[in-house]
Amino acid sequence: MSQRITKSHVLRTSPLRARAAAMAAGLGVSVALGSGVAVAAGDSANAGAVQGNAAASVREQAAVQAESASKAEVAAQGKPAEAVKKAAAKKAKPSWVDPVQKYKLSASFNQAGNLWNSTHSGQDFAVASGTKVFATHGGTVVKAGGNGAGDGPAYGNAIVVRHGNGTYSQYAHLSRVEVNAGQVVATGQRIGLSGNTGNSSGPHLHFEIRTSADYGSAIDPVRFLRTKGLTL
């Protein structure tokens, strides 16, 4: 009989104990979860602070790097950049060139003498006969041939080129004319060979800068070419 009571007691109390244990366990879990949430919240705040500090550090590093890059750029734009510009300027094709190379200036503009009707109308470049003659600037040939290309026999074989800036260049006493009227020529293009034709006391190139295609409109060619950057 005592055994039944014990069993019945055990059977009746076991569910209660189980529920109590479960409630206690649940409470413990809730407490644990609450503590965990609190800890997690604290950790999140700490993490946010850490991230903020890290972001600030990254911004500082970026600013330092940007400043260094700026200094490097400024340094790169110093002497090396100037050297590059000078090298490019040397390689750039000039707008105007000397009509002949390796010359000596002889009779000059407006010089008096018995070889001319009044005064000398151009600049003479003393060179050997057969020296290459170049167009001093790009343009269109408007006169070419003997009899001074229409300016008279004193010039011998001659060429006149019209340039885009309203000026003309003339090349006279040539031994050979290598272009024709109407032909477009480039700056520095070979157009003939120097000689001793016409009223000439020796081989040379007679060169003029004119304001028209015809004789009588010449200006000082040396002074003009110097304004174009040439050093005659």
Residue pLDDT, tens place only, 148-179: 999 999 999 999 999 988 899 999 999 999 99
Q: Which residue has the higher pLDDT, 11 or 105?
A: 105
Residues 111 and 171 in one domain: yes
Residue 151, pLDDT score: 94
Residues 122 and 83 in one domain: no
Check whether 43 has a pLDDT greater than 80: no
pTM over 0.85: no
Check whether 47 has a pLDDT greater than 60: no
Mean per-residue pLDDT over the chain, rounded: 77
Q: How would you class 152 by CB atoms within 10 Å of its CB: exposed for 0-12, middle for 13-18, buried for 19 or more? A: middle
Check whether 4 has a pLDDT greater than 50: no
First to last CA, the chain: 143
Q: Report if residue 97 sits inside a domain.
A: no
Q: Report if residue 137 sits inside a domain.
A: yes
Q: Report if residue 145 sits inside a domain.
A: yes
Instruction: Mark which of 57, 92, 127 sits at the end of a domain.
Output: 92
Residues 186 and 150 in one domain: yes
Confidence of residue 12 (pLDDT cuts 50, 70, 90): very low
Total domains in the chain come to 2
Q: Residue 64: phi, psi to the nearest 5? A: -65, -45
Matching residue, tokens 């189980």: 18
Residue 176, pLDDT score: 98
Max mean pLDDT among 33-47, 60-74, 149-163 falls in 149-163
Residues 123 and 214 in one domain: yes
| Cβ neighbours for 128, distance < 8 A, ≥ 6 positions apart | 194, 203
Residue 6, pLDDT score: 42
Find the CATH number of the domain harbouring 168: 2.70.70.10
Helix H or strand E segment including 81: helix 79-91
Residues 193 and 156 in one domain: yes
Confidence of residue 34 (pLDDT cuts 50, 70, 90): very low
Residues 143 and 67 in one domain: no
d(CA 88, CA 90): 5
Check whether 133 has a pLDDT greater than 70: yes
Q: Report if residue 232 sits inside a domain.
A: no
- Its domain, for residue 63, covers 1-92
Instruction: Mark which of 62, 92, 122 sits at the end of a domain.
Output: 92
3-class state of residue 156 by DSSP: coil
Residues 9 and 47 in one domain: yes
Q: Report if residue 10 sits inside a domain.
A: yes
Instruction: Mark which of 92, 119, 149 sits at the end of a domain.
Output: 92
d(CA 106, CA 108): 6
